[in-house]
Amino acid sequence: MEDKFVIGFDYGSDSVRTLIVNALTGERVATSVKYYPRWEQGLYCNPKINQYRQHPMDYLEVLETSLREALSKSPVGTAEKVIGIAFDTTGSTPTFTDETGTPLALLPEFFENPNAMFILWKDHTAIKEAAEINELCKKWDINYTAYEGSVYSSEWFWAKALHVLREDEKVRKAAYSIVEHCEWLPAILTGVTSSKDIVRSRCAEGHKAMWHPQWGGLPSEEFLTTLDPLLAGFRKRLFTETKTADIPVGTLCPEWATRLGLSTNVIVAGGAYDCHMGAVGAGVTPHTLVRVIGTSTCDVMVSPYEEIGHRLIRGICGQVDGSVIPGMIGLEAGQSAFGDIYAWFKRILEFPIKNIIGKTELIDFNTRAVLIKEVCDNIIPILTKEAEKIPLSESTVIATDWMNGRRTPDANQLLQGTITGLTLGTTAPQIFRALVEATAFGTKAIVERFVSEGIRIDNVIGIGGIAHKSPFVLQTLSDILNMPIKVCNTTQTRALGAAMFAATAAGVYNKVEDAIDAMNSGFAVEYTPNPENVKAYADIYEKYIKVGQFTEKELFN
């Protein structure tokens, strides 16, 4: 049988990962990673106010260069045998568009305006707007957050849109509609020229925009204009229906077929969020929790209709029919910071290195640069090595994992992190160990919420950068959860999941589950709990809970 190839594009926070896969066997043919050029320079972002924006040109430029590079690494003739493409992206990452569906930042007058760009998932500038949405939902006759854990987050669609409308009059006057990143890319590649023709993602809109068939799609016009009159008309100009990612959006338009070196017969699948497609790439099944572990985390599960019934899961990031695997309910939770917490501590320790060694005249410029890089690159590995040596009986520093607010359970982006139990004898490795334990305790809180709400969890799969790079973090996580954790046999699980959707949309498989069976990567390693550590961590976890309760009640009430 002649080979058929599909391409999965995984748009992460910093870069795009492009994966070419044999749709019949799952063989990973070639990969390419390209970083967003403007994002790398820190443009359009202001961490002091939690503003994180990305320019649409970054997305388009790396799309072309990454695919060209991946094809250059592939056997001759691969491009002619590509039959499908699919995208996953971060989310909620929306932007305002004009009537043609063009993001405003692509128009000359808005090219340098951050408010006209895509608002990255980690942007928390809309905390006030999220609080207003939650307050109104409690008063309204319909709780539009019912299928989103009953708590709306500043990381999501309507809060971000309203914040920008209030902040920027020029954007407000030019804005016609709103699009999610994972919807815009398929629209671009298929030549859509009207916002009304953009195929809307079941995953994105169900989890982040309060879309649900029960109330006819998006929240009512009356609700939105009561929230703020600035939202008038957007509901009508947006959409009513959404589609799951296994359904074709169209085929490559001539312009993008030429730019990518592919045929106009290539099927473009619908878009979805990275973690949801990552769960598919990991081979998610009912009763399996897939943890996408990186700068933040996303926890994804699927549940058959007959198991979840009419149950509403409190305090998570949504339960949406078909958001992960069509024909099942997709469940999402997660942490607003995970690896970002380790990166924060690393930056703290880097300060004297960069500001003292970086300015010394005792060594020449090139030697300083090499020395600084060597030291900074080794901070986390050395901290890890020393933290592993610390007996749990000396694990007396307790931290919470809310450095970037809390996503779940029960979203609250106002919360801040806490570290307690410090003494004059506390060392950097002890603090680092406490931070690793805090991220694992935050995971345990999520698992306990699922279980208390009647969702059975039999096993855990880890994907993402940290899952592959840090045995210490994964072993700590296994001990604290008292559950085995399998790690996928590829670092490109999200792109692989996108490729599975591409293969399904292109007709190679009748359903996503068949693509999973044929194309999965298997597992590289499994971590199992250490019984002694399990018992010790159960006691420390109770302290974590008490510190969290004090932090939330006394400092942020």
Question: Would you give per-residue pLDDT tens digits along the chain (557 residues)?
Answer: 689 999 999 999 999 999 999 999 999 999 999 999 999 999 999 988 999 999 999 999 999 999 999 999 999 999 999 999 999 999 899 999 999 999 999 999 999 999 999 999 999 999 999 999 999 999 999 999 999 889 899 999 999 999 999 999 999 999 999 999 999 999 999 999 999 999 999 999 999 999 999 999 999 999 999 999 999 999 999 999 999 999 999 999 999 999 999 999 999 999 999 999 999 999 999 999 999 998 889 999 999 999 998 889 999 989 999 999 999 999 999 999 999 999 999 999 999 999 999 899 899 999 999 999 999 999 999 999 999 999 999 889 999 999 989 989 998 888 999 999 999 999 999 999 999 999 999 999 999 999 999 999 999 999 988 999 999 999 999 999 999 999 999 999 999 999 999 999 999 999 999 999 999 999 999 999 999 999 999 999 999 999 999 999 887 76
Tokens 């916002």 belong to residue: 195
Residue 530: exposed, middle, or buried by beta-carbon count in 10 A (0-12, 13-18, 19+)?
middle
Tokens 């996928």 belong to residue: 488
* pLDDT value of residue 75: 96
* pLDDT value of residue 394: 87
Could you list the beta-strand ranges (E) of 113-271: 118-119, 177-180, 248-251, 267-269
Residue 45 carries which side chain, given as an amino acid letter? C
Q: How far apart are CA 281 and CA 353, in angstroms?
A: 40
Q: How far apart are CA 29 and CA 239, in angstroms?
A: 38
Q: Please tell me what DSSP assigns to residue 511.
A: S
Q: How far apart are CA 514 and CA 111, in angstroms?
A: 43
Measured from the Cβ of residue 232, the count of other Cβ atoms closer than 10 Å reads 11
Axis crossing angle, helix 339-355 with helix 379-387, rounded to the nearest 10: 120
Residues 6+ apart with CB under 8 A from 214: 147
Q: Is the pTM of this model over 0.85?
A: yes
* pLDDT value of residue 556: 72
Q: How far apart are CA 473 and CA 416, in angstroms?
A: 22
* pLDDT value of residue 1: 64
Task: Read off the tokens for 535.
Answer: 């018992």
Question: What ranges do the domains of the chain cover?
Answer: 5-282+493-506
Asked: is 5-282+493-506 a CATH 3.40.50.1170 domain? The reply is no
DSSP secondary structure letters along 122-156: T--TTHHHHHHHHHHHHHSSS-TTGGGTT---TTS
Residue 2: exposed, middle, or buried by beta-carbon count in 10 A (0-12, 13-18, 19+)?
exposed
Residue 370: exposed, middle, or buried by beta-carbon count in 10 A (0-12, 13-18, 19+)?
exposed
Nearest alpha-carbon partner for 292 in 13, 8, 9: 13
